[in-house]
């Protein structure tokens, strides 16, 4: 547990922090996104987070092709800016939408394209740093004269140069003999003394001496990076991907040996365990389009260049060769840029998916990052398998195969003492195996806590005094990230999951069936940090973090609190003010349910916690107002004109803010002069119900159930009327039940006992419709999708069968319409429609249905990636959330709406989304039902 957290704003702040830590005997652990895998960014003392404030791109020089950045700059943010000059920073980790340059330097990150771009070390030109005495230094290539001048300095910097030069000069032969083979691009075991051996003055033909290469991969144990000058490279104009499929891992690795001879930009191995995990991930399921059957393994191979025809010929030739060698059974070739991006998104999700495989994904990464020469890969894997067989465990295989790096994760149950002993034994045997191949124990993810105890086995006992000497030269008081690389604790200490870990054991209202219990749901988050991506990286998760940049407002931050509190306090955690505050800005958008690789459903966890909080503290008046609005609506709708007038009076708004917490800057939705049900009861029996098929009789037409939610009924009845008109034009007889609630507001407000009562009333009626083969259609996405999501977990065991039938029969209006229009699309596309999708729909079913329905109805459609609107039901109305709500809208949605063509139509299926747009930019929007009904004219 850290003693404190610092958020420096400048190099001067870091220098002050270092001096304070030195004087007070505290350590400093530098941290950006905190996604390192071997424990590098965990430690006591002070955690120094550079991501919040030191995140500026200081300069990009197009002609000299370099960037000068602060350490908190996110890699994708840099490349978006560099891309304006057709340049990029080459290292491409799986975490590029949140990993920061400082962390990439600390870990010497590489990524998918390391055979082409190598490692961060090859792209670092200069590093500005604060040393352990608070002094500042710039490390860059030095001529012999400049190096001599540095060694004359009467400062810590001068001492470092003198001592490091002397150490390397004395032990150069020993270092080169014991370090990993120089053909291995990814070698991050220990400090990079072997890289210094390649430089002048030790190698007259080598490159200039540059201590920045030693700092790369040093894991923040030697100095604090305050800025860096990075090499940028031109972007290739053309790329092509082929994906050979294999029946065995060995065949895939044998193929890799042949493929690297063809100068690929990337060769990535993914095994069937990860591929199977993508089937259960809502977002990645869509990215499986290129797979042919269920291969044991695939390689994702990319070629880059400037001539598309040449690349196509190269890909086809390789595909043919692999089949002739009887290595690959199928080799799809992909040239579409968007589809290639989807292939890589699936690959990048691999680690997070793997870490989300329940308890089997919690193995510490003790053997996860080994690297050997590419020709050694097939035999190395066979030897590794022998270790697995000996210990009766299995392993996930995925890899940067092009450079001999394998991410191998043996399955270990850390909550059993005998399994921890097995892990320690295996770690030693694997280190011995790596040594026998002259490989690297860490290829890119670093030594940290997990692998540092085994460096000695890989580099040899004679190297350990040298590594400790390096640490002592740079940081004699040991204040920088102690216990990493050198002087590490045994790997079994400080484990997140261990025999002493107590699983949460509390009574819940949801059954948590998919997760196999609340305890497993609480443990799902693996810390991958995808929820920390910025708005400009796309997607929706996590909208509150995108607005505040606060860790506590990320899915990971909240999940960490859930785990810590419930595993410690058990049922008393329902009274936690800390957790309630952390959940305060959760919009329950459900984006984490699909975009998080582990499918953490924070909206559901929030509902469960809030129900427990209410049990202890009661339900506030504001929560009751929004959670049980249906009880007030009938009265308010009796005199709609008066209700609407009174709600807009300043004195009323003051009272609403004071007693219900409704922000005075918001206008509550207006009530319609006549509800939908008033119109329905008066007109439905006499409707002519025109049909597109005159041969279909009134009574013989199929019946469909149209659920009219309270928002449609009381506020926007025209949407319901449009839906009826459209459905009946397609030959359906519409049935409208006389209830409007399914429990969505109650679930969102954590009023689960109320929601369960609604479920108990609704489920038999809905199941009756499903039994009769009647589709159940909803106009408000969050309402109808509640039947397919929460109902399946809120129901009792004896209700599961009925709930599943209802879920199977339920459709959003867009889904049902897309199926209807599939056989009779309209070809004319003379109107452009821009779509902002509903968060729940994007998370649970995606945007394909709304796109297809509108396109088949004759519209030209563009689906925006505008994230969350920021309203999220009642969230944006509440005074404590208004600013964050508007900040979220201002990120992507509002700017998109301000630059529309004059005749453009904006389609927004969500009620609260439409009202956020009205408040934010006052642009008219349409529900899909109204746009589809327009095509009938």
Q: 66-69 and 87-88: which strand pairing?
A: unpaired
Q: Are 268 and 141 in contact (CB under 8 A)?
A: no
Banded pLDDT at 531 (limits 50, 70, 90): very high
Instruction: Please state the separation of Cα 359 from the chain's center in Å.
Output: 20
Tens-place pLDDT, residues 536-582: 999 999 999 999 999 999 999 999 999 999 999 999 999 999 999 99
Q: Give the integer Cα–Cα distance in Å for 68 and 230.
A: 6
Tokens of 438: 């002259």
Instruction: Look at residue 878 and give its three-state secondary structure.
Output: strand
Beta-carbon contacts of 719 under 8 Å, excluding residues fewer than 6 positions away, are 712, 779, 927, 929, 930
Q: Give the integer Cα–Cα distance in Å for 437 and 918.
A: 65
- Alpha helices, DSSP H, located in 358-508: 377-390, 417-436, 455-459, 464-474
For the whole model, what pTM was predicted? 0.91
Q: What is the mean pLDDT of residues 801-818?
A: 97
Q: Give the integer Cα–Cα distance in Å for 420 and 565.
A: 25
DSSP 107-147: HT--BTTHHHH--GGGGEEEEEEE-TTS-EEEE--B-HHHH
Predicted local confidence at residue 497, as pLDDT: 86
Is residue 542 reached through a cis peptide bond, with omega within 30 degrees of 0 on the bond before it?
Answer: yes
Banded pLDDT at 688 (limits 50, 70, 90): very low
* Cα torsion through 217, 222, 227, 228, rounded to 10: -40
Q: Does the pLDDT of residue 856 top 80, yes or no?
A: yes
Q: Does the pLDDT of residue 173 top 90, yes or no?
A: yes
What number of other Cβ atoms are within 10 A of residue 275's Cβ? 21
Biggest CA-to-CA distance, the chain? 99
Q: Give the integer Cα–Cα distance in Å for 809 and 185.
A: 54
Share of the chain above pLDDT 70, in %: 96
Q: Give the integer Cα–Cα distance in Å for 83 and 277.
A: 33
What rounded mean pLDDT belongs to the chain?
93
Q: Are 423 and 492 in contact (CB under 8 A)?
A: yes
Predicted local confidence at residue 937, as pLDDT: 62
CA angle (881, 885, 891) in 5-degree steps = 150
Q: What is the mean pLDDT of residues 255-276?
A: 92
- Alpha helices, DSSP H, located in 510-599: 518-522, 543-548, 555-569, 577-583, 591-595
Tokens of 390: 């000996």
Q: Which residue has the tokens 């484990």?
A: 495
Q: What is the mean pLDDT of residues 335-339?
A: 93
Banded pLDDT at 352 (limits 50, 70, 90): low
Closest CA to 741 of 843, 877, 632, 641: 632
Tens-place pLDDT, residues 95-143: 999 999 999 999 999 988 999 999 999 999 999 999 999 999 999 999 9
Tens-place pLDDT, residues 142-170: 999 999 999 999 999 999 999 999 999 99
Q: What is the mean pLDDT of residues 751-758?
A: 97
Lowest mean pLDDT among 42-51, 320-329, 403-412, 630-639: 403-412
3-state secondary structure 807-823: HHHEEEHHHHHHHHHCC
Q: 385, exposed or middle or buried, with CB in 10 Å at 0-12, 13-18, 19+?
A: middle
Predicted local confidence at residue 689, as pLDDT: 42
Q: Does the pLDDT of residue 624 top 60, yes or no?
A: yes
Provide the CB-side half-sphere exposure for 302 (13 A, CA). 23
Q: Give the integer Cα–Cα distance in Å for 426 and 412.
A: 10
Q: Please report how the helices 144-151 and 156-178 are oriented relative to each other, as an axis angle in degrees rounded to 10.
A: 120
Closest CA to 447 of 408, 493, 486, 400: 486
Q: How far is CA 14 from CA 7, 48, 128, 138, 674, in A?
A: 9, 9, 12, 15, 64
Q: Which domains does the chain have, with CATH numbers?
A: 4-232 (3.30.465.10), 238-462 (3.40.462.10), 518-617 (no CATH), 629-818 (no CATH), 825-934 (3.40.50)
Instruction: Look at residue 825 and give its three-state secondary structure.
Output: coil
Tokens of 162: 């003198």
Closest CA to 587 of 614, 558, 620: 558
Lowest mean pLDDT among 54-68, 285-299, 681-695, 850-864: 681-695
Tens-place pLDDT, residues 875-886: 999 999 999 999
Q: What is the mean pLDDT of residues 323-345?
A: 92
Predicted local confidence at residue 683, as pLDDT: 86
Q: Does the pLDDT of residue 686 top 70, yes or no?
A: no
690-712 as b/e, with b when 16 or more CB fall inside 10 Å? ebeeeeeeeeebeebbbbbbbbb
DSSP 190-211: S--HHHHHTSTTTSTTSPPB-T
Closest CA to 792 of 600, 507, 510: 510
The sign one gets for the Cα dihedral 713, 715, 719, 721 is positive
What number of other Cβ atoms are within 10 A of residue 238's Cβ? 16
Q: 801, exposed or middle or buried, with CB in 10 Å at 0-12, 13-18, 19+?
A: exposed
Q: Does the pLDDT of residue 377 top 60, yes or no?
A: yes
Q: Give the integer Cα–Cα distance in Å for 681 and 684.
A: 6
Closest CA to 886 of 547, 586, 539: 547
* More confident of the two residues 828 and 386: 386
Predicted local confidence at residue 681, as pLDDT: 92
Instruction: Look at residue 760 and give its three-state secondary structure.
Output: helix
726-746 as b/e, with b when 16 or more CB fall inside 10 Å? bbbbbbbbbebeebbbbbbbb
Q: How far is CA 194 from CA 112, 166, 182, 203, 466, in A?
A: 24, 14, 9, 12, 12
Banded pLDDT at 697 (limits 50, 70, 90): very low
Q: Give the integer Cα–Cα distance in Å for 879 and 771.
A: 45
Instruction: Please state the separation of Cα 238 from the chain's center in Å.
Output: 27
Lowest mean pLDDT among 44-53, 620-629, 695-704, 785-794: 695-704
Predicted local confidence at residue 598, as pLDDT: 85
Q: Give the integer Cα–Cα distance in Å for 34 and 528.
A: 8
Predicted local confidence at residue 696, as pLDDT: 41
Closest CA to 606 of 638, 584, 591, 577: 584
What number of other Cβ atoms are within 10 A of residue 454's Cβ? 25
Range from 195-209, 412-426, 625-639 that averages highest in pLDDT:
195-209
Rg, Å, the chain Cα set: 30
């Amino acid at each position: 547990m850290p003693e404190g957290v610092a958020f420096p704003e400048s190099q001067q702040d870091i220098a002050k922090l270092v001096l304070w830590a030195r004087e007070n005997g505290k350590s400093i652990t530098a941290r950006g996104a905190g996604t390192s895998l071997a424990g590098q960014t965990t430690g006591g003392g002070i955690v120094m987070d550079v991501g919040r404030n030191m995140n500026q791109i200081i300069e990009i020089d197009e002609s000299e092709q370099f960037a000068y950045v602060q350490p908190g700059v996110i890699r994708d943010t840099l490349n978006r800016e560099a891309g304006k000059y057709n340049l990029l920073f080459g290292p491409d980790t799986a975490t590029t939408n949140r990993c920061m340059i400082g962390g990439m330097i600390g870990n010497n990150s590489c990524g998918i394209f390391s055979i082409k771009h190598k490692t961060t070390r090859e792209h670092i030109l200069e590093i500005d740093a604060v040393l352990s005495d608070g002094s500042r230094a710039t490390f860059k290539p030095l001529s012999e004269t400049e190096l001599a001048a540095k060694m004359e300095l009467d400062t810590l910097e001068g001492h470092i140069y003198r001592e490091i030069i002397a150490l390397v000069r004395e032990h150069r032969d020993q270092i080169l003999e014991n370090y990993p083979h120089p053909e291995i691009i990814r070698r991050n075991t220990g400090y990079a003394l072997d890289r210094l051996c390649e430089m002048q003055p030790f190698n007259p033909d080598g490159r200039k001496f540059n201590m920045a290469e030693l700092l790369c991969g040093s894991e923040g144990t030697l100095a604090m990076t305050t800025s860096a000058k990075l090499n940028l490279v031109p972007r290739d104009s053309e790329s092509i991907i082929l994906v050979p499929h294999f029946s065995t891992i060995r065949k895939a690795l044998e193929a890799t040996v042949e493929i690297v001879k063809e100068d690929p930009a990337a060769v990535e191995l993914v095994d069937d365990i990860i591929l199977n995990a993508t089937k259960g991930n809502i977002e990645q399921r869509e990215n499986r389009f290129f797979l042919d059957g269920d291969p044991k393994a695939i390689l994702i191979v990319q070629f880059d260049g400037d001539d598309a025809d040449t690349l196509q010929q190269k890909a086809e030739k390789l595909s043919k060769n692999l089949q002739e060698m009887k290595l690959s059974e199928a080799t799809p070739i992909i040239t579409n840029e968007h589809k290639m991006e989807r292939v890589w998104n699936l690959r990048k999700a691999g680690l997070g998916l793997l870490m989300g495989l329940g308890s089997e994904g919690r193995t510490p990464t003790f053997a996860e990052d080994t690297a050997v020469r590419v020709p050694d890969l097939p035999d190395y894997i066979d030897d590794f398998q022998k270790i697995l067989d000996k210990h009766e465990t299995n392993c996930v295989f995925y890899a940067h195969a092009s450079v001999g790096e394998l991410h191998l994760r043996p399955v270990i149950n850390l909550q059993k003492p005998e399994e921890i002993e097995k892990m320690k034994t295996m770690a030693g045997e694997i280190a011995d195996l790596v040594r026998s191949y002259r490989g690297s124990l860490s290829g890119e993810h670093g030594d940290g806590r997990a692998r540092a105890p085994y460096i000695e086995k890989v580099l040899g006992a004679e190297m350990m005094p040298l590594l400790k000497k390096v640490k002592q030269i740079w940081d004699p008081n040991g204040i920088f990230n102690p216990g990493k690389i050198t002087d590490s604790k045994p790997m079994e200490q400080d484990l997140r999951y261990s025999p002493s870990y107590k699983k949460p054991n509390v009574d819940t209202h949801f059954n948590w069936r998919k997760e196999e219990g609340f305890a497993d749901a609480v443990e799902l988050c693996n810390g991958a940090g995808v929820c920390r991506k910025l708005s400009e990286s796309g997607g929706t998760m996590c909208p509150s973090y995108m607005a505040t940049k606060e860790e506590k407002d990320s899915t990971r931050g909240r999940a960490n609190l859930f785990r810590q509190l419930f595993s410690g306090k058990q049922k008393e955690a329902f009274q936690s003010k800390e957790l309630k505050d952390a959940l305060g800005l959760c919009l329950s958008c459900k984006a984490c349910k699909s975009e998080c690789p582990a499918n953490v459903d924070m909206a559901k966890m929030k509902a469960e916690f809030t129900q427990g909080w209410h049990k202890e503290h009661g339900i506030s008046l504001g929560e009751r107002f929004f959670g049980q609005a249906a009880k007030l609506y009938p009265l308010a709708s009796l005199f709609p004109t008066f209700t609407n007038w009174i709600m807009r009076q300043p004195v009323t708004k003051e009272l609403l803010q004071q007693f219900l917490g409704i922000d005075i800057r918001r206008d509550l939705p207006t009530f319609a002069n006549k509800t939908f049900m008033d119109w329905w009861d008066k007109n439905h029996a006499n409707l002519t119900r025109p049909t597109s098929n005159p041969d279909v009789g009134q009574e013989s037409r199929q019946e469909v159930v149209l659920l009219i939610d309270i928002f449609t009924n009381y506020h926007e009845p025209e949407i319901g009327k449009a839906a009826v008109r459209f459905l009946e034009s397609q030959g359906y007889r519409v049935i409208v039940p006389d209830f409007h609630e399914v429990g969505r507001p109650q679930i969102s407000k954590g009023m689960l006992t109320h929601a369960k009562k609604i479920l108990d009333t609704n489920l038999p009626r809905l199941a009756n419709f499903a039994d009769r083969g009647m589709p159940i259609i909803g106009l408000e996405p969050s309402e109808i999708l509640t039947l397919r999501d929460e109902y399946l977990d809120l129901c009792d065991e004896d209700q599961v069968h009925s709930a599943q039938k209802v879920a199977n029969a339920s459709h959003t209006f867009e889904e049902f319409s897309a199926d209807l229009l599939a056989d009779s699309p309209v070809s004319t596309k003379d109107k452009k429609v821009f779509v902002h999708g509903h968060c729940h729909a994007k998370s649970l079913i995606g945007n394909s249905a709304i796109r297809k329905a509108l396109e088949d109805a004759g519209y030209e459609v563009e689906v925006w990636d505008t994230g969350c609107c920021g309203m999220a039901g009642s969230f944006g109305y509440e005074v404590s959330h208004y600013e964050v709500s508007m900040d979220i809208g201002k990120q992507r949605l509002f700017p998109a709406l301000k630059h529309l063509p004059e005749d453009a139509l904006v389609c927004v299926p969500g009620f609260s989304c439409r009202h956020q747009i009205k408040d934010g930019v006052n642009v008219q929007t349409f529900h899909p039902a109204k746009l589809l009904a327009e095509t009938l004219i």
